[in-house]
Chains A and B, each alone.
Chain A
Amino acid sequence: MQMEKQNQTLIVYLDGELDHCSAQSIRRLLDGCIKDGEIKNMVLDMQELTFMDSSGIGVILGRYKQIKDKGGRMMVRNMNRQVERVFRLSGMNQIIETM
């Protein structure tokens, strides 16, 4: 998983599969970054994310809440069709901006 810092925004390039098995390590990595006082906003780039299930919804919503509590914005971009269907089904598209 690659990351890139642009001023107050962290761009996270998710890759591989986001399921219950991979959730824990992704969660830990993202939480470490959110603790960084300089980071306010987060962009999740899903170009290289090949699969996501409901475990991914939990991971994204959890990080969304933390970012929101810091007064920041969370955005997602480049979802494939499978990922987007799961994303929409959960209603996340109504609270998280798509770029």
Chain B
Amino acid sequence: MKITNQMEISFLSIPENESFARVAVSAFAVQLNPTLDVLADIKTAVSEAVTNAIVHGYCDCMGMVKIEAILKDNGMLRLVVSDEGCGIENVEEAMQPFFTSQPEKERSGMGFSVMQTFMDQVEVMSEPGKGTRVTMEKKILAG
């Protein structure tokens, strides 16, 4: 499949950038003419991945969060959200519904489940001490 468009942004891990990330990615995805529901799905998944980078990856520090987006000529949107934060010890466990390392902060452990439900495919690569890279794909049928 041919790449038809590509973009990359990175921003400081402050909570204000969660809405910035949602808006930026949906403005990029809109060129595929998605339905409003599909756009909402993408925004939600981006919000989860970016929030995780901010609250878990850079838990007690600041760092840069990066989003890469690629559009292919078959209507596939690929998003990669990455951080150079603390990383995840056990990815399989982290992806279980309701698993959270921050119950005291009222986290519900649903972020990865939301990403998996709202996107077609989610892949997580992580190395403790190095960072985390979440790759998500969704086929966008023009609405």
Using a CB–CB distance below 8 Å, which chain A residues touch chain B?
A: 17, 19-21, 23, 27, 51, 53-55, 57-59, 61-62, 81-82, 85-86, 89-90
Using a CB–CB distance below 8 Å, which chain B residues touch chain A?
A: 15-16, 18-19, 22, 37, 40-41, 43-44, 47-48, 51, 54-55, 105-108, 110-111, 113-114, 117-118
Known: A17-B19, A81-B40, A86-B114. A53 touches B106 (CB 8 A): no
Mostly, the B contact residues are: helix
Contact A54 B19 (CB under 8 A): no
Mostly, the A contact residues are: helix
Contact A20 B114 (CB under 8 A): no
Cα–Cα distance between A81 and B110 once the two chains are bound (Å):
18
Known: A53-B44, A59-B106, A61-B108. A20 touches B54 (CB 8 A): yes
